[in-house]
Amino acid sequence: MNGPRSTLAVIAGTALGAGFVPRAPGTMGTLVGIPVAYLSAEWNWPVRLLLWIGLTVVGTWAAQVIDEITGKADNQAIVIDEVIGLGVTAWTAGRHWPTLFAAFLLFRFFDIVKPFPVRRIDSWSKTKALAGTGAARWWGGFGVMADDIVAGLQGLLVVLILQAIYSGVYRA
């Protein structure tokens, strides 16, 4: 399956080629997310939310197409999900580099370790990715995004706790 559809899916799904890095493609995809999170940090939240939802829709489509091309569920070259997961974890980081760095480390931790329910979502998505056609495949593409979104939410929770402690809101 060649052509513009495949090319666009590969460009988007690999986060402009970051997914083709032979070692640690997930980490490279997460690094691509840092400038996106940083540059969008000052946007008003509805516009920012639309950006991340749009990236999730594009990522879902790209993951589905790449799965069809390769015949493999959640190919490791698909890293747009890492971009999105980092965006979720860094949602409250603003343009504060130490918080962005913490968001990067926390997201990578939750994405690699896959605590409940991330691992279950990851397994579910691999099952759906190559099952049947149409909606089942779409859910497989979304599943590729979903485990990283949940890992991103887990990381965001820790970021929020750290921000509360750092700002003195929470006193033990």
Q: Give a yes or no: residue 172 inside a domain.
A: no
Q: What is the pTM of this model?
A: 0.90
Instruction: Quick: pLDDT tens for 42-64.
Output: 999 999 999 999 999 999 999 99
Q: Give a yes or no: residue 147 inside a domain.
A: yes
Q: Give a yes or no: residue 146 inside a domain.
A: yes
Domain extent, residue 22, equals: 4-167
Dump strand ranges (E) for 7-136. none
Distances (CA, A) of 143 to 19, 21, 38, 98, 137: 18, 23, 26, 30, 10
Query: Are the CB atoms for 34 and 47 separated by under 8 Å?
Result: no
* Spatial separation of the C-alpha atoms in residues 121 and 145, rounded to whole Å: 10
Share the mean pLDDT of the chain.
Answer: 91
* Spatial separation of the C-alpha atoms in residues 122 and 115, rounded to whole Å: 11
Task: From 164, 159, 36, select the one nearest 95 (Cα to Cα).
Answer: 36
Backbone φ/ψ region at 98: left (φ over 0), alpha (ψ -120 to 50), beta: alpha
Amino acid type, 29: G
Count: domains in the chain: 1
Would you state the structure tokens that stand for residue 156, as one six-digit string? Answer: 């965001």
Instruction: Quick: pLDDT tens for 63-107.
Output: 999 988 888 888 899 999 999 999 999 999 999 999 999 999 999
Q: Give a yes or no: residue 13 inside a domain.
A: yes
Instruction: Quick: pLDDT tens for 93-145.
Output: 999 999 999 999 999 999 999 999 999 988 877 776 566 566 666 677 888 99
* Spatial separation of the C-alpha atoms in residues 57 and 125, rounded to whole Å: 15
* Spatial separation of the C-alpha atoms in residues 131 and 126, rounded to whole Å: 9
